[in-house]
Structure 1
Amino acid sequence: MREAVKLVNAEQPDMILFTGDLVNNFAEEVNGWETIFAELKAPMGKYSILGNHDYGNYSRWSSKAQKEANFAGIVDGHRKIGFTLLRNESLVLNRKGDSIGLGGVENWGTASQPRKGDLNMASQGLKDQPFNLLMSHDPDHWDKQILPQDFFDLTLAGHTHGMQFGIEKGDFKWSPAQYIQKRWAGIYREGNKFLYVNRGLGYHGLPARVGMPPEITIIELRKGPVGTEPLKA
């Protein structure tokens, strides 16, 4: 992880965004990482959201209070590593006379996944911004709610990990993740709306990746006429 921090800082990012799943299950998984994450530098801030694993739904708890205490610890873990956690919230970021809107929703997933994301809350105060960016952990949210709402220009997601297994050669890209998630890695576009799905930096379950290396995504937003590519990643 220390090497990942060095790679991020070498890019001199304006801001750093983390799209959820800080832990696999337990709040104590954050312990010991605080000083490493504190080395991340971004003048416009470091922002994060919750993923499905952050709610503690994959473990058995002796009581509701124990589960709630674990969740509170995970929420506080974002503060400990120096990130501002957005829970259905938004803010306006300013730089050199320009501004963009940034929203972050809690997890909104399909089937048994938590559905706590609220787009209306996450878009409050952003109506007058020329460009609005959203962090939403599960890419399925894009097709189900974000695109129909037609508000956020760029959505950043994660969740899939690319199944930690795949093949990529030239334009050919394959992973078993594609049989589970319609949007599982990279850039997707519908009209003038964009989604980017990061394949993850860590792992879940098996501590390995085959043909699906950890990913740090560098995104550059550029001004341009409506209809042109507003970003490169």
Structure 2
Amino acid sequence: MVFRLLFFIVFLFVIELYAFQAVKTLVKDKWILVAYGVLSLAILIYIIYGFFSFDRSVGQTKQTMFTMGLMLVVYIPKIVLAIVLLGEDIFRLVMGSVNYFVENSNEGFLPSRRKFVSQLGLGLAAVPFLSLIYGVTIGKYNYKVIKQRIFFPDLPDAFDGFTITQISDVHSGSFDNPDKINYAIDLVNEQNSDMILFTGDIVNTHAKEMHPWIDTFNRIKEHEYGKFSVLGNHDYGEYVTWPSQVAKNQNFKEIKDLYGQIGFQLLLNEHTFIQKGNDKIALVGVENWGKNFKQAGDLEKASEGLGNHDFKILMSHDPSHWEYEVKNNEKNFHLTLSGHTHGMQFGIEIPGYFKWSLAQYVYAQWAGLYEHLGRYVYVNRGFGFHAYPGRVGIMPEITVIELKKGDRVA
């Protein structure tokens, strides 16, 4: 622990040193440099204090999210700047060695730092700085409705054209703008889907986080074929220290009750049938199962009595469940709906052409639609946000999936 703390402090010191050098190369006024130094030190002290005063009995708060956001806004640009100047230092070291040892130059060993390199570094650093500022001011509520049509050869005839709205990862304890949340609920209602599914994480940790938003989410209108939900990893209260197991259990009970209070039927390792005309499909809901998170999901129990011939839609919060237990399961789960990853709330997406996020180095399926042997998983990018109070590139999502009978994907 001490070594990691020391490494962290040294790392930040090196980053600050490079950033100061870049500013000093361009700014000659002594008092501006002093003001920059004082401000940087104040921010650094605030961030260190914020992290070391984190209370595990409380968990994430607006204050901790602000601290995380401030750290990213300040230090990611400075890291970019430091990388540019480090590259120049390597160049200066090589050139100095050549001049001194090969050409026997009488000039100083290291060439002076070049102004244009500092300008280049600051210009590049401005990109993540402005992006992160956008993320915390606009991006976190920049809701996108994403429509996905999926074809299944064995889809029951009556369900051809059936539509499902999916929301996931609400994280209500992070919200700070009622108008934006009401706007998002309006978007959900405008889709006029046949059914709506909520794939977990209604809160960050505590049931009380959702209390100010119950009336808002009760505005989600009734859907003809129901409103169903499952639990996410944050719904278990695993990430704080509780005064007792009784308190933790009570919070978990209250979180499960929240889904009912906003009109969703919570499926806990069980299934139900959705009947339309003479046909039906099975809707299966498991508790959270994650490769690196809580594994309470019981797929066998949830699908007990179902056969390969039954058309099945599975709700499972963490897409690693699909990767490790679902996609090759002999019961043939046709479509799995997940969330959890948030796309790391940071990345690049050009719809239909390119998408990238650090999430892809952790999850094989992290945003959008994936297929394996005719079985599909759709990973919703999340309705809310957590830890970093913003979104850059990976926007909050309301998904509308249309089931089609056929052999192609569109």
**After TM superposition, is the score higher than 0.5?**
yes
Give the aligned partner of residue 399 of structure 2: 217
2:186 corresponds to 1:6:
yes
1:197 to 371, 379, 396: 379
2:369 corresponds to 1:187:
yes
Deviations 1:49-92 (A, max 9, x none): 01110100101101111111110110001111111000101000
Give the aligned partner of residue 106 of structure 1: 287
Q: Which has the higher contact order (CA 8 A, sep 6+)?
A: 2
Shift of 1:32: 2.1
Matched pairs, number? 227
Shift of 1:127: 2.3
Amino acid at match of 2:240: S
Give the aligned partner of residue 165 of structure 2: none
Give the aligned partner of residue 128 of structure 2: none
1:17 to 187, 197, 207: 197
Structure in which a larger fraction of residues adopt helix:
2
Shift of 1:96: 2.9
Cα distance between partner residues in 2 of 1:209 and 1:189: 27
Shift of 1:172: 1.1
Asked if 1 retains the 8 angstrom alpha-carbon contact of 2:347 and 2:356, the reply is yes
Give the aligned partner of residue 48 of structure 1: 229
Which structure 1 segments of 5+ residues have no match? Answer: none
Asked if 1 retains the 8 angstrom alpha-carbon contact of 2:182 and 2:216, the reply is yes
Deviations 1:96-151 (A, max 9, x none): 3321110000001113x111111111112432764210000110111111122132
Assess, with a 3 A threshold, how the Cα gap between structure 1 residues 58 and 77 changes in structure 2: closer, same or farther: same
Matched residue SS, 1:167: strand
Moved over 4 A (4+): none
Matched residue SS, 2:400: coil
Give the aligned partner of residue 87 of structure 1: 268
Matched residue SS, 1:32: helix
Give the aligned partner of residue 73 of structure 1: 254
Deviations 1:37-59 (A, max 9, x none): 22212111110101110100101
Amino acid at match of 1:23: V
TM-score by length of structure 1 reads 0.93
Assess, with a 3 A threshold, how the Cα gap between structure 1 residues 129 and 3 changes in structure 2: closer, same or farther: farther
Give the aligned partner of residue 320 of structure 2: 140
Sequence identity percentage: 51
Which structure 2 segments of 5+ residues have no match? Answer: 1-180
Cα distance between partner residues in 1 of 2:269 and 2:284: 7
Cα distance between partner residues in 2 of 1:29 and 1:182: 31
Amino acid at match of 1:85: L
Q: Structure 1 residues 39-48 or 153-162, which shifts more?
A: 39-48
Matched residue SS, 1:218: strand
Shift of 1:8: 1.3
Deviations 1:158-197 (A, max 9, x none): 0000000010125111001111111100000001100000
Matched residue SS, 1:149: coil
Give the aligned partner of residue 38 of structure 1: 218
Cα distance between partner residues in 2 of 1:133 and 1:36: 28
Amino acid at match of 1:66: A
TM-score by length of structure 2 reads 0.54
Q: Structure 1 residues 165-174 or 192-201, which shifts more?
A: 165-174
Shift of 1:30: 1.3
Give the aligned partner of residue 172 of structure 1: 354
Larger radius of gyration: 2
Assess, with a 3 A threshold, how the Cα gap between structure 1 residues 180 and 128 changes in structure 2: closer, same or farther: closer
Matched residue SS, 2:273: strand
Cα distance between partner residues in 2 of 1:154 and 1:172: 23
Amino acid at match of 2:257: D
